[in-house]
Structure 1
Amino acid sequence: MPADAPTILATSGGFRASPRLHWEVGPLTRYAVELAGVTGRNPRVCFIGTACGDDGRLISTFYDNAWREGWAASHLSLFPMPNVDDPREHLFAQDVLWVWGGSVAGLLAMWRLHELDAAFREAWEAGVVLTGVSAGSICWHSGGTTDSFGPALRPVTNGLGLLPWSNGVHYDSERERRPLFQSLIADGTLPPGYATDDGVGLLYRGTEMVEALGEKDGAGAYRVERSPDGTAAETRLDVRRI
């Protein structure tokens, strides 16, 4: 894929603990902003916290981080109503859209209610870099595993489908994630896909996964597909530390 192909960095990371803030930006999110290739001005980065109900503390902490990073910051809220007159226009005016984690089922429902599913696709195709963590990773794919419905993980199969693959997040830190992701691919509930340990991101150019990137030593990325015998075959991928 050419370097200027539509770009998604889907992660199980991108932020970390901070001695001063609630959290701080991590290397994966910084790399997503670099991918936008902005020169001569501050990159425009929009934070989207739909999956956490547009939690005010998250949004405030984002602005604290953005000031430190030198970003031209904004956010898109949908609760209790959109905070901008035209959400679609606002998305198109950004260089990077950063989607936070939480309920991917709730996120997808709200985006579709506000007719933003098409807007995200159009922004991606126009060159806006899409990134996010957990729910903000799964949402770009066909589906994945989620705790949106309760403590026991369940499949979500109605992702935006910008990427035709399934997506497994928190692959090493939540013990139910790996076996469920594999079984759902084995039985055909989910298409073949990619999974990330905490601290790893998947870089897509167009719909092709071109590189796995890590902000933590030893963390892995994986390709999971259905074998001819109906089981799941998992392949560990190379991860470039950033």
Structure 2
Amino acid sequence: MPAEQPTILATSGGLKPGARTRLEFDLLLHHAVELSGVSGRAPRVTHLGTAGGDQRAFNAELDEAARLAGIQFSHLNLFTMPNHPDPAAHLLEQDVVWVSGGSVVNLLAVWRAHGLDSILRTAWQEGVVLAGVSAGSICWFQGGTTDSFGPELRAVGNGLALLPYSNGVHYDSEARRRPLVHRLVADGTLGETHCTDDGVGLVYRGTSLVEAVSEVRGKGAYRVTRGEGGDVLEEMVEPRYLG
């Protein structure tokens, strides 16, 4: 059952420490499933861990979390070769694609090498909900800020551009993120930039931001733009708490 419109949930969250497992799915990941509209069967969610090098140990921890959540969970690994003979068919069978964090620069390069940039665009257009955290958030936008190149944050500008904005993640937990976004918007390196505190996600229908949602109280989302005089304007988007 595809989503009614092309849908993206771009987050700085989605996982939490587990009670009996190291990780559990938090409210944002569950909301991605809700956005897909699936009912009457176990949701099908596939995980892309490209940004972290497809770590099998982390995949196993997600498998445990999915079992507890009652989700039919799978992985599309690209290292050392795709683990599905037809990645396009696999992705189009899913209700949700969830992309983990890591290096967004490496993620984009590997996806393009395997043709996933066009495959994911098709999946989005066909109603598969695209979602993820950190690198798995930035990738859907034109660009954003990243530590993919080293400890000093830099701009990345070659995202998949499904959404015509830039993206800032971990806006409240990493002190250098906010000032860099402001500087890059001021000098025109980034256009309108949508940012999330940890635990917050942004829901897009088509290319329109429809709401911010949160799995943690007291957090925010932000729209950062450049004013006519060159001043940077930051507008808070109050999230709806999912709990």
Name the TM-score, length of structure 1 as normaliser: 0.97
SS of the residue corresponding to residue 130 of structure 1 reads: strand
- The two structures, once aligned, show a CA RMSD in angstroms of 0.9
2:96 alignment partner in structure 1: 96
1:122 alignment partner in structure 2: 122
> Any runs of at least 4 consecutive aligned residues in structure 1 with deviations exceeding 6 A, and if so which?
none
Paired residues for 1:33-44 under 5 Å:
33-44=33-44
Instruction: Give ranges in structure 1 of 5+ residues lacking alignment.
Output: none
Letter paired with 1:73: F
1:73 alignment partner in structure 2: 73
Bigger drift between 35-44 and 13-22 goes to 13-22
Paired residues for 1:136-151 under 5 Å:
136-151=136-151
For residue 65 of structure 1, report the CA deviation from its aligned partner.
1.1
SS of the residue corresponding to residue 216 of structure 2 reads: coil
Name the TM-score, length of structure 2 as normaliser: 0.97
For residue 118 of structure 1, report the CA deviation from its aligned partner.
0.3
For residue 104 of structure 1, report the CA deviation from its aligned partner.
0.3
For residue 231 of structure 1, report the CA deviation from its aligned partner.
2.4
Deviations 1:180-223 (A, max 9, x none): 01111111111102100000000000000000001111111000
For residue 19 of structure 1, report the CA deviation from its aligned partner.
3.2
SS of the residue corresponding to residue 210 of structure 1 reads: strand
For residue 73 of structure 1, report the CA deviation from its aligned partner.
1.2
> Partners in 2 of 1:188 and 1:153 — Cα distance?
17
Bigger drift between 122-131 and 57-66 goes to 57-66
Letter paired with 2:207: T
Bigger drift between 48-57 and 229-238 goes to 229-238
2:152 alignment partner in structure 1: 152
Bigger drift between 197-206 and 56-65 goes to 56-65
For residue 90 of structure 1, report the CA deviation from its aligned partner.
0.7
SS of the residue corresponding to residue 211 of structure 2 reads: strand
SS of the residue corresponding to residue 28 of structure 1 reads: helix
SS of the residue corresponding to residue 118 of structure 1 reads: helix
For residue 230 of structure 1, report the CA deviation from its aligned partner.
1.3
Instruction: Give ranges in structure 2 of 5+ residues lacking alignment.
Output: none
2:131 alignment partner in structure 1: 131
2:207 alignment partner in structure 1: 207
Letter paired with 2:99: V
Paired residues for 1:59-70 under 5 Å:
59-70=59-70
> Partners in 1 of 2:30 and 2:199 — Cα distance?
13
> Partners in 1 of 2:174 and 2:101 — Cα distance?
15
1:187 alignment partner in structure 2: 187
1:228 alignment partner in structure 2: 228
